[in-house]
Amino acid sequence: MTRKLFGTDGVRGQANSYPMTAEVALRLGAAAGRHFRRHGQNDHRVVIGKDTRLSGYMIENALTAGLTSTGMNVLLLGPVPTPAVGFLTRSMRADLGIMISASHNPAADNGIKFFGPDGYKLSDAAEAKIEAIMAGEISPAKPENIGRAKRIEDGRGRYVEYAKTTFSGREMLAGVKVVVDCANGAAYRAAPEVLWELGATVIPIGVAPNGCNINENCGSTHPETAAAAVVAHGADLGICLDGDADRVMIIDQNGVVADGDQIMALLAARWADAGRLKGGALVATVMSNLGLERFLMGRGLRLERTRVGDRYVVERMRAGGYNLGGEQSGHIVMTDHVTTGDGLIASLQFLAAMAETGHPASELARQFEQVPQQLRNLRYPRGQEPLSAVAVQAVIAEAEARLVGRGRLVIRKSGTEPLIRVMGEAEDAALLTEVLDGIVAAIGAAAPAV
């Protein structure tokens, strides 16, 4: 079965436009409820979390209506990080977990992510089955079996307490000054609480959501805001989360940003030294820098690459028995602790390294020299397929020929936005710029409204 509605991370789009309408959300909730409802039992549970987007209210209500119509009981968590939904789905013995969020996207977008009863994101096959149910007649529950919905007040508190258990001791953060940028998103309360309760001096920014300012000039996609705050306050560390807090960028005491590759390199090396790194490998995507791969090889470790998307990273981790993976964009997955990317818990691991080694963030966040890498994000009109144009394919083929033995290209459509992502790596930075300029020009000519 194929998927048309689901992308690389659930269903996503502009709010009040297909597919992110109340009508689709209602039917999607009913289809998911029918898929996960266990026959002969009436204690079916769904936990629903959300970020701080205005459209979250509309989608939450529509999903709840669809789910209860098929006999599912809905527990509404309110604004919590995406990893909290994965954790609480399993902890609360729910049949299904749902996060309403478009992650790092602008406030006008929204999305729906599903977690199975094990706390992991659904597979492509499971999503395809839900789409198939949507396409047919969805059998509703009998009147006496319609589900109930209620608000859960302690969901965030449960996650906060769990996150604290992943850090070895609160006294280790005494005297540490941390800037935490919550992107006006889902972790705007949870992240500062965890850090403060572990003993840190906390300077919170991006903690005033109004429904329309999530990710706006803040968070992991705009780390310059937190970087300026780190320098201004003389902080030891900056933590930049995205709108649903499953990504993180680390900022050292000098205001320099470290991406997911550097964070994964630090954790892989530390875990390998401690005998904790399962399988002698780190799992990351095709977007991770070649420098990371060389760093791991130098320590006798492997880099297992997957297609882009943190759930594909997790699938490879589970299949191979690995316990550390992630993405350059800041998803850090540690299956010893969580079932999906968790920006806050990854930050605690970084803080633990600072506390245990006594080294400043600037030393720990620079584990390897990056091979020159450039990423161009090109927006294109919905409905167009510029990568299918013959002229574009010819330019890409020529570029790949020029980079043989000298670098690599990764060109793909985003699974969450109408963007084409053009990434290239090469030791010769001038050649890389020339090659990418040609590809970008060709795509622009094929889709003039980009």
> What are the pLDDT digits (tens) for 364-381?
999 999 999 999 998 888
Which range has highest mean pLDDT (87-91, 386-390, 440-444)?
Answer: 87-91
Looking at the chain, which residues constitute the CATH 3.30.310.50 domain(s)?
373-446
- Give the strand pairing for 177-181 and 149-151: unpaired
> pLDDT higher for 406 or 328?
328
Q: What is residue 170's predicted lDDT score, i.e. its pLDDT? A: 64
Looking at the chain, the whole-number percentage of residues with pLDDT higher than 70 is: 97
User: Is the pLDDT score of 38 beyond 80?
Assistant: no
The CATH code of the domain at 11-152 is 3.40.120.10
Task: Please tell me whether residue 14 adopts helix, strand or coil conformation.
Answer: strand
User: Is the pLDDT score of 450 beyond 60?
Assistant: no
Segment among 145-149, 186-190, 408-412, 413-417 with least mean pLDDT: 413-417
Average pLDDT, the chain: 94
Dihedrals phi, psi of 47, to nearest 5 degrees:
-105, 135
User: Is the pLDDT score of 43 beyond 90?
Assistant: no
The CATH code of the domain at 175-256 is 3.40.120.10
286 DSSP assignment? T
377 DSSP assignment? E
> pLDDT higher for 383 or 15?
15
**pLDDT band for position 289 (50/70/90)?**
very high
Q: What is residue 275's predicted lDDT score, i.e. its pLDDT? A: 97
CA distance 354 to 277: 19
Which one of the listed residues 103, 220, 288, 329 is annotated catalytic? 103
Q: Are 109 and 142 in contact (CB under 8 A)?
A: no
Q: Are 54 and 212 in contact (CB under 8 A)?
A: yes
Hey, what CATH class is 373-446 in? alpha beta
Q: What is residue 194's predicted lDDT score, i.e. its pLDDT? A: 97
Looking at the chain, which residues constitute the CATH 3.40.120.10 domain(s)?
11-152, 175-256, 260-364
CA distance 12 to 15: 9
Helices (H), 301-428: 310-320, 343-357, 361-364, 390-403
CA distance 45 to 287: 37
* Residue 123 annotated in active site: no
Q: Strand order in 237-241's β-sheet?
A: 201-205, 177-181, 237-241, 248-251, 257-258
Q: End-to-end alpha-carbon separation of the chain, Å?
A: 32
**Section 210-218 average pLDDT:** 98
172 DSSP assignment? G
Q: What is residue 1's predicted lDDT score, i.e. its pLDDT? A: 58
Q: Determine whether 300 is exposed, middle or buried from the number of CB atoms within 10 Å of its CB (0-12, 13-18, 19+).
A: exposed
User: Is the pLDDT score of 40 beyond 60?
Assistant: no
User: Is the pLDDT score of 196 beyond 50?
Assistant: yes
**Section 270-293 average pLDDT:** 97
**Section 261-271 average pLDDT:** 98
Segment among 18-27, 68-77, 163-172 with least mean pLDDT: 163-172
CATH number, domain 260-364, options 3.90.550.10, 3.40.120.10, 3.50.50.60, 3.30.420.40: 3.40.120.10
Q: What is the pLDDT of residues 293-343, one digit of tens each?
A: 999 999 999 999 999 989 899 999 999 999 999 999 999 999 999 999 999
The CA-CA-CA angle for residues 196, 347, 166, to 5°, reads 75
Dihedrals phi, psi of 284, to nearest 5 degrees:
-145, 180
User: Is the pLDDT score of 88 beyond 90?
Assistant: yes
Q: What is residue 72's predicted lDDT score, i.e. its pLDDT? A: 96
User: Is the pLDDT score of 216 beyond 60?
Assistant: yes
Q: What is residue 189's predicted lDDT score, i.e. its pLDDT? A: 98
Q: What is residue 414's predicted lDDT score, i.e. its pLDDT? A: 82
Q: Which of 146, 231, 247, 162 is nearest to 198 (CA)?
A: 162
Q: What is residue 9's predicted lDDT score, i.e. its pLDDT? A: 86
Segment among 105-119, 138-152, 239-253, 376-390 with least mean pLDDT: 376-390
Which amino acid does the sequence have at 267?
L
